[in-house]
Chains A and B, each alone.
Chain A
Amino acid sequence: MQHDSKFTNQKFKLVGTRVMRPDGVDKVTGRARYGADTFAPGQLVGAILRSPHAHAKIRGIDTRRAEKLAGVKAVITSADLPDLTDGDAELYNVLENCMARGKALYDGHAVAAVAASDAETARKALKLIKVDYKVLPHVTDVDEAMKPAAPIVQPRVRSKYRPGKRTNVAGVTTYGHGDVDAGFAKADVIIEKSYKTEQVHQGYIEPHACLASVGPDGQGELWVTTQGQFAFRNRCAALLGMEMSQLKVTSSEIGGGFGGKTHVWAEPVALALSRKANRPVKLVMSREDVFRASGPASSTSIDVKLGATRGGRIVAAHAELRYGGGAFPGIWGEIGAMAAWACYDIENVRSVGYEVVVNRPKVAAYRAPSAPMAGFAVESTVTLMAEKLGIDPVEFRLKNAAREGTRASYGPTYGPIGIVPTLEAVKKHPHMRARLGKNQGRGMACGFWFNFGGQTCADLAIGEDGTVALSVGTVDVGGARASLSLIAAEELGIPYEQVRCNIADTASLGYNDMTDGSRGTFSSGMATIFAARDAIEQLRQRAAKTWGIAVKNVAWKDGKAIAKGKRKSLTLKELAEASSNTGGPISGHNQVVADGAGVSFASHICDVEVDPETGATKVVRYTVVQDAGKAVHPDYVEGQFQGGAAQGIGWALNEEYVYGEDGRLQNPGFLDYRIPVCSDLPFIDTQILEIPNPNHPYGIRGVGETSIVPPLAAIANAVSDAAGVRMTHVPMSPPRILAAIKSSREEQELTR
């Protein structure tokens, strides 16, 4: 992919500075409007009835009493969301997930919904709906679900796992190259180890919320907290049989998404309720609903086999990765298989990913989806191998790290990449030499993420006062408006304060892919640069016209049009003021498929203290080193590094979906689903490396996701060091650690 790369290594004036974010004041003063913060005249309150069973046939739903309740304006079931998917299997899965069709597939699966004049009436109406369930056997564990005798979650699932037969394995994918068996034959040391990770939720503060309105003329509007207004429009329009242009979707401010707001759940239901009630409907999920029925990350079960020579060279690697996708087929095992060995240069390498359906909510993306679990298994084994060979774990990784020109285990050949530089930085970091106290241990691990570019579109309109309105279509999840304004100002040569960046609704800008794959600043940054250049082209034309000279003789420098022989330059402001007489409004536009998102690498160092009598773990020091390509706004890059590490710490130590024997989620709330509180975290130190991405005009790589990949393994390596026992099950909660310490002590006593 050949993009303009002449700006690589250029000196920036604004890019790289730490300016105030434009959305900051509103957010700290409470003025910012999130998903639940908008109102329409005559709006109703929507509420969803959910299955209390993990797996049940729905023999009938009696909505008559609910419909008769005063204040109830609409009651819907799957009959009100007819199947318009026309053979599109993926879309059908979305439809079935939004509202159960004949069978409830997990605890929390929506079965009916109401719209009423107030919340109390809506709640009462839900209680009046009678659902006749026939409870079926269920399965929530990945390994159990793969057994031949397991209850079948989705009768329509077929794959090569059990050809021609019903199965819960929806797909098997293999990546790698070389001859793995021959590789293991050459190995001096082989390590085989199995790992498990439990299901986790992104834990965003803001629950899913929307205000939906469909009028009798068929025109609709949706205000919603989302990572992608265009994707939501397309999905909702397809599910409801609306034309795309008839549904305008506006993204609210977003209180966290991390991948969880890339999928529709309640939104099509809200639109269907509004259509039936002929009134706007506001639907806000409770925290319990969010846990039970949005899209957490997979639980996994992974086997790793690693072979190396005594000299420390990995000669063969193999991984089997089983990912629970919830009640619907996913691609999570495949992504895990692709990411597993991406940090290393291995001659003989293979990974097999399995997509397993279970009676749990449909899995959604969670920050570098699938990579943290694969990374946990691989990086734990890599450290074990280094220990066994008596080589320093950083040196061992350096010996085997991928470099420019390495053929990645998942196919492509790498360009300039950052794994070796992050490892070198770790080696030099004072953290690695700091003294450890009693019961403390240290671990480190690497992580990789692909990053994504995708379809992008930007508009840049210059006002007559010389200020710039930049419209982009990627939802701002982490400070992108500041970064994109910096980029526009840099390119135009004007002060940052002169640019205001807006997130456009679907009626105001061309299609944009969602803010996922760490693409927001990478891709909208690219489109912004090109849109600014488009505007500069016009500014030069206007100057040429004013001066009566050829355009080619006009240059653009530091926010001004200049030409040889002209004493006075024309500023952007002057050109804007005169624009009505020189050809009308001045604006720049760009649409691009932003290819060439550079892959991203990080290395993390972590110190923990484990209480050997209770199994409690405290993270005492944490350092993130990551390649950003170019850090447009270093504060927000550091924030992404710290945020990923913080989420990884929670995942590694305490977060987990706990299911009862009955297949019901036991902990759908923040009390017993334990994300870290402030006092659980140390200050997370960061170091930004800048290895420019040659495919981006400013050298930018996405930075949002990679930071959650190394923590699981870095912490597992540190805990194992501190506790003297290898931890292979995440979360490493106190009961698991204490049990491991006890059983290793018992083993030692037996062998003594």
Chain B
Amino acid sequence: MRYEAPTSTREAIALMSGAKGDAYLLAGGTDLLVRMRGEFIDPDLVVDIKRLPGIQEIRKTARGFSIGAGVPCAALGRHKPLLRAWPGVVEAAQLIGSDQIQGRCTIAGNLCNASPAADSVPALVAATAKAVIVGPGGRRRLAVEKIITGPGATSLGKGDIVSAIELPNRPPKSGDAYLRFIPRTEMDIAVCSAGVSLTLGPRNVVKQARVALGAVAPTVVLVPKAARAIVGTRLEDDALQRLAAACEAACSPIDDKRGTVEFRTEVAGVLARRAAVIAYERARKKR
């Protein structure tokens, strides 16, 4: 196995595009190295992206925030403006693993690993996050939900690298939240999860909302009907019931060792409801 840690993006793209055999990018390695150790993959080439210029930075831009693909999740929580704007995305990222994992793992890696249970992804989708992709075809921006095509599968082409994840600026009175269900209190994988992002209008009525569910289908599910259920409301009980029902209807999970179809479906609705309430409270408290 060959290991490269290029210091220019062009070099990284060239290495990946020109690779014969199995080539993988390495960010935090908390998925990749585990899969290598478990003998699920046997790479011929590993390209570490952590030395690429700017990859370890969180930048405030005119559009919002740009989080470099090498930024460990632990760093997100220390970035005060990011935390204030996107508390739900940050809390989702910081649910990943443990302190040790947090020091390494990235949201770009979480996204590109394409696990249906990835924690940061529903929150990113709810937040309308975009991935910045650099590759042989140049540079482009893609909504994060367009990256994942199935369990373990992405739409990225040979030589494509996610260089950053972008989050937009927040209008006033906005909030987001993420909740997952795990049987333990930590060190576990989401049985189902929900991310909600919303913005309030006059009199604290929900003006805009996005609801995304994790681990209830092969990829993250964006549920516009659930969002519509709460737009124009102040999260009254019946609105929350309709939100939960819409979420349940959007689920197509599997029965496995981590949970049953019924359980995942029902609890996804519960989590979406609870996450909406938290996001709403966060928005209401903002000016």
Q: Which of B156-194 contact A (CB under 8 A)?
A: 181, 183-189, 191
Query: How far is it, in angstroms, between the C-alpha of A614 and the C-alpha of B273 when the chains are bound?
Result: 12
Residues of B within 8 A of A672 (CB): 189, 257-258
Contact B184 A674 (CB under 8 A): yes
Contact B183 A733 (CB under 8 A): yes
Residues of A within 8 A of B184 (CB): 654, 674, 676-677, 679-680
Q: What mask results when residues 8 to 48 of chain B are scored 1 for a CB within 8 Å of chain A, else 0? A: 00000000000000000000000000000001000000000
Cβ-defined partner of B181 (8 Å) among A614, A666, A679? A614
Among B55-63, B222-230, B261-269, the stretch in contact with A: B261-269
Is A52 interfacial (CB 8 A cutoff)?
no
**Least Cβ–Cβ distance between B243 and chain A, in angstroms:** 14
Residues of B within 8 A of A658 (CB): 257
**Least Cβ–Cβ distance between B38 and chain A, in angstroms:** 9
Query: How far is it, in angstroms, between the C-alpha of A733 and the C-alpha of B258 when the chains are bound?
Result: 10
Query: How far is it, in angstroms, between the C-alpha of A201 and the C-alpha of B6 when the chains are bound?
Result: 46
Residues of B within 8 A of A123 (CB): 39
| Residue total for A at the interface (Cβ-Cβ under 8 A) | 23
Is B232 interfacial (CB 8 A cutoff)?
no
Cβ-defined partner of B183 (8 Å) among A616, A666, A679? A616
Is A1 interfacial (CB 8 A cutoff)?
no
Among A217-225, A505-513, A514-522, A734-742, the stretch in contact with B: A734-742
Look across to chain B and name the residue whose beta carbon is closest to the beta carbon of A670: B187
Is A205 interfacial (CB 8 A cutoff)?
no
Is B77 interfacial (CB 8 A cutoff)?
no
Contact A671 B267 (CB under 8 A): no
**Least Cβ–Cβ distance between A438 and chain B, in angstroms:** 16
Contact A677 B270 (CB under 8 A): no
Residues of B within 8 A of A674 (CB): 183-184, 188
Contact A614 B267 (CB under 8 A): yes
Is B259 interfacial (CB 8 A cutoff)?
yes
Q: What mask results when residues 657 to 684 of chain A are scored 1 for a CB within 8 Å of chain B, else 0? A: 0100000001100011010110110000
Contact B262 A679 (CB under 8 A): no
Contact B185 A654 (CB under 8 A): no
Look across to chain A and name the residue whose beta carbon is closest to the beta carbon of B191: A734
Residues of B within 8 A of A614 (CB): 181, 267, 270
Contact B183 A738 (CB under 8 A): no
Answer whether A677 and B185 are a contact pair too, CB < 8 Å, given A613-B270, A614-B267, A738-B263: yes
Residues of A within 8 A of B252 (CB): none
Answer whether A739 and B262 are a contact pair too, CB < 8 Å, given A671-B189, A677-B187, A733-B183: yes
Contact B260 A735 (CB under 8 A): yes
Residues of A within 8 A of B270 (CB): 613-614
Look across to chain A and name the residue whose beta carbon is closest to the beta carbon of B187: A677
**Least Cβ–Cβ distance between B80 and chain A, in angstroms:** 26
**Least Cβ–Cβ distance between B105 and chain A, in angstroms:** 15
Query: How far is it, in angstroms, between the C-alpha of A672 and the C-alpha of B187 when the chains are bound?
Result: 10
Query: How far is it, in angstroms, between the C-alpha of A417 and the C-alpha of B77 when the chains are bound?
Result: 56
Cβ-defined partner of A677 (8 Å) among B39, B186, B189, B263? B186
User: Which of B39, B262, B266 counts the most A-chain CB atoms under 10 A from its CB?
Assistant: B266
Contact A738 B266 (CB under 8 A): yes
Answer whether A735 and B257 are a contact pair too, CB < 8 Å, given A616-B181, A674-B183: no
Residues of B within 8 A of A680 (CB): 184-185
**Least Cβ–Cβ distance between B85 and chain A, in angstroms:** 29
Residues of B within 8 A of A671 (CB): 187-189
Query: How far is it, in angstroms, between the C-alpha of A646 and the C-alpha of B25 when the chains are bound?
Result: 41
Query: How far is it, in angstroms, between the C-alpha of A735 and the C-alpha of B183 when the chains are bound?
Result: 9
Cβ-defined partner of B263 (8 Å) among A653, A654, A667, A734? A734
Query: How far is it, in angstroms, between the C-alpha of A455 and the C-alpha of B55 when the chains are bound?
Result: 66
**Least Cβ–Cβ distance between B184 and chain A, in angstroms:** 5
Q: What mask results when residues 116 to 130 of chain A are scored 1 for a CB within 8 Å of chain B, else 0? A: 000000010000000
Contact A734 B257 (CB under 8 A): no
**Least Cβ–Cβ distance between B221 and chain A, in angstroms:** 19
Query: How far is it, in angstroms, between the C-alpha of A656 and the C-alpha of B24 when the chains are bound?
Result: 35
Q: Which of B207-226 contact A (CB under 8 A)?
A: none
Look across to chain A and name the residue whose beta carbon is closest to the beta carbon of B39: A123
Contact A734 B181 (CB under 8 A): yes
Query: How far is it, in angstroms, between the C-alpha of A676 and the C-alpha of B266 when the chains are bound?
Result: 25
Query: How far is it, in angstroms, between the C-alpha of A672 and the C-alpha of B267 when the chains are bound?
Result: 19
Cβ-defined partner of A735 (8 Å) among B185, B187, B189, B263? B263
Query: How far is it, in angstroms, between the C-alpha of A515 and the C-alpha of B263 when the chains are bound?
Result: 43
Query: How far is it, in angstroms, between the C-alpha of A354 and the C-alpha of B183 when the chains are bound?
Result: 32
Query: How far is it, in angstroms, between the C-alpha of A653 and the C-alpha of B185 when the chains are bound?
Result: 12
Residues of A within 8 A of B183 (CB): 616, 653-654, 674, 733-734
Query: How far is it, in angstroms, between the C-alpha of A667 and the C-alpha of B260 when the chains are bound?
Result: 15
Query: How far is it, in angstroms, between the C-alpha of A738 and the C-alpha of B189 when the chains are bound?
Result: 19
Contact A679 B185 (CB under 8 A): yes
Q: Which of B228-285 contact A (CB under 8 A)?
A: 256-260, 262-263, 266-267, 270
Query: How far is it, in angstroms, between the C-alpha of A615 and the C-alpha of B267 when the chains are bound?
Result: 9
Query: How far is it, in angstroms, between the C-alpha of A733 and the C-alpha of B263 when the chains are bound?
Result: 11
Look across to chain B and name the residue whose beta carbon is closest to the beta carbon of A666: B257
Cβ-defined partner of B259 (8 Å) among A618, A679, A735? A735
User: Which of A613, A654, A658 counts the most B-chain CB atoms under 10 A from its CB?
Assistant: A613
Query: How far is it, in angstroms, between the C-alpha of A734 and the C-alpha of B260 when the chains are bound?
Result: 10
**Least Cβ–Cβ distance between A154 and chain B, in angstroms:** 28
Residues of B within 8 A of A679 (CB): 184-186
Query: How far is it, in angstroms, between the C-alpha of A658 and the C-alpha of B259 when the chains are bound?
Result: 11
User: Which of A654, A676, A733, A738 counts the most B-chain CB atoms under 10 A from its CB?
Assistant: A738
**Least Cβ–Cβ distance between A390 and chain B, in angstroms:** 35
Contact B186 A667 (CB under 8 A): no
**Least Cβ–Cβ distance between A668 and chain B, in angstroms:** 11
Query: How far is it, in angstroms, between the C-alpha of A734 and the C-alpha of B266 when the chains are bound?
Result: 12
Query: How far is it, in angstroms, between the C-alpha of A616 and the C-alpha of B258 when the chains are bound?
Result: 13
Residues of A within 8 A of B266 (CB): 738
Residues of B within 8 A of A734 (CB): 181, 183, 191, 259, 263, 267
**Least Cβ–Cβ distance between B213 and chain A, in angstroms:** 15
Look across to chain A and name the residue whose beta carbon is closest to the beta carbon of B267: A614
**Least Cβ–Cβ distance between A622 and chain B, in angstroms:** 15
Residues of B within 8 A of A738 (CB): 263, 266-267
Query: How far is it, in angstroms, between the C-alpha of A735 and the C-alpha of B259 when the chains are bound?
Result: 7
**Least Cβ–Cβ distance between A76 and chain B, in angstroms:** 23
Residues of B within 8 A of A739 (CB): 260, 262-263
Query: How far is it, in angstroms, between the C-alpha of A123 and the C-alpha of B186 when the chains are bound?
Result: 33
Cβ-defined partner of B257 (8 Å) among A613, A618, A667? A667
Q: What mask results when residues 167 to 193 of chain A are scored 1 for a CB within 8 Å of chain B, else 0? A: 000000000000000000000000000
Residues of A within 8 A of B186 (CB): 677, 679
**Least Cβ–Cβ distance between A736 and chain B, in angstroms:** 9
User: Which of B39, B183, B187, B260 counts the most A-chain CB atoms under 10 A from its CB?
Assistant: B183
Query: How far is it, in angstroms, between the C-alpha of A647 and the C-alpha of B7 when the chains are bound?
Result: 49
Residues of B within 8 A of A653 (CB): 183
Query: How far is it, in angstroms, between the C-alpha of A733 and the C-alpha of B191 when the chains are bound?
Result: 12
Residues of B within 8 A of A735 (CB): 259-260, 262-263
Residues of A within 8 A of B262 (CB): 735, 739
Look across to chain B and name the residue whose beta carbon is closest to the beta carbon of A618: B185
Residues of A within 8 A of B39 (CB): 123
Look across to chain A and name the residue whose beta carbon is closest to the beta carbon of B189: A671
**Least Cβ–Cβ distance between B116 and chain A, in angstroms:** 15
**Least Cβ–Cβ distance between B9 and chain A, in angstroms:** 34
Look across to chain A and name the residue whose beta carbon is closest to the beta carbon of B185: A679
Told that A614-B181, A658-B257, A672-B258 touch, could you supply 13 new A-B pairs with CB distance under 8 A?
Answer: A618-B185, A671-B189, A672-B189, A677-B184, A677-B187, A679-B185, A734-B181, A734-B191, A734-B263, A734-B267, A739-B260, A739-B262, A739-B263
Closest 8 CB pairs of A and B: A735-B263, A679-B185, A658-B257, A666-B257, A613-B270, A667-B257, A654-B183, A735-B260
What are 20 residue pairs bridging A and B, where the CB atoms are less than 8 Å apart in the complex?
A614-B181, A614-B267, A614-B270, A615-B263, A616-B181, A666-B257, A667-B257, A671-B188, A671-B189, A674-B184, A674-B188, A676-B184, A677-B185, A680-B184, A733-B183, A734-B191, A734-B259, A734-B263, A735-B262, A738-B266
Residues of chain B touching chain A, judged by Cβ–Cβ distance below 8 Å, are 39, 181, 183-189, 191, 256-260, 262-263, 266-267, 270
